[in-house]
Amino acid sequence: MDRALKARLEARFGDVLSGPIRQRHDETELRIEPKDVPDVLRSLHDEPAFHFEMLSDLAGVDTGEHMQVVYHLWSETTPDWLRVVADGLSREDPRTPSVTFLWKGAEWMEREAYDMFGIIFEGNRDLRRIYMPPDYQSFPLRKDFYLADDAARSPGAGVRHMERSHAPNDTAGQAVRTVKA
């Protein structure tokens, strides 16, 4: 844990944090509101005290109550990875500013979060489906996503038929031998 990083983050961003800075092992996490994403990430990227030049991952999260966007950043100024969580996006219309102005590679990561969660990244010049067909109407990684056969299955009703294991036919009383490949 880099306690000096935590102190620098608290001093610089204390007024925009939406929760305490948390540290565990080699990770430091800070939470901000979606509207603060451009300013906070620009500062983390550009200011010499931080110099987080590498965006290693960007992911959408559906907590069931609201949406989040999580940014994983790396800098040579600290041994810790930095996790920035844009917390509290609306489930009905999840929107946050794009960070493609800092990291060109974020375009694809934002497209994936859009495709799987429906999060709109305002300012992304190519926000379209990346995995699902262009006319697909749902977002597969959202907690309210239903599979076609889920309507007929009540919660706790057991495994789906295709997932059941069956004993081989006509083996009553016989030993079953397995063949190694």
Distance CA 10, CA 97 (A): 23
Residues 2, 79 contacting (CB under 8 angstroms): yes
Q: Report helix, strand or coil for 16.
A: coil
Q: Which two tokens stand for residue 81?
A: 């990875």
In CATH, what number does 3-136 get? 3.30.460.80
Task: Name the nearest CA neighbour of 72 among 39, 99, 36.
Answer: 99
The torsion angles phi and psi of 180, rounded to 5 degrees, stand at -85, 140
**pLDDT > 70: percent of the chain:** 81
3-state secondary structure 9-65: HHHHHCCCECCCCEEECCEEEEEECHHHHHHHHHHHHHCCCCCCCEEEEEEEEECCC
pLDDT per residue as tens digits for the range 106-156: 999 999 999 999 999 999 999 999 999 988 888 989 988 876 655 555 555
Q: Report helix, strand or coil for 54.
A: strand
pTM score? 0.78
pLDDT per residue as tens digits for the range 48-72: 999 999 999 999 999 989 999 999 9
What integer best gives the mean pLDDT of the chain?
86
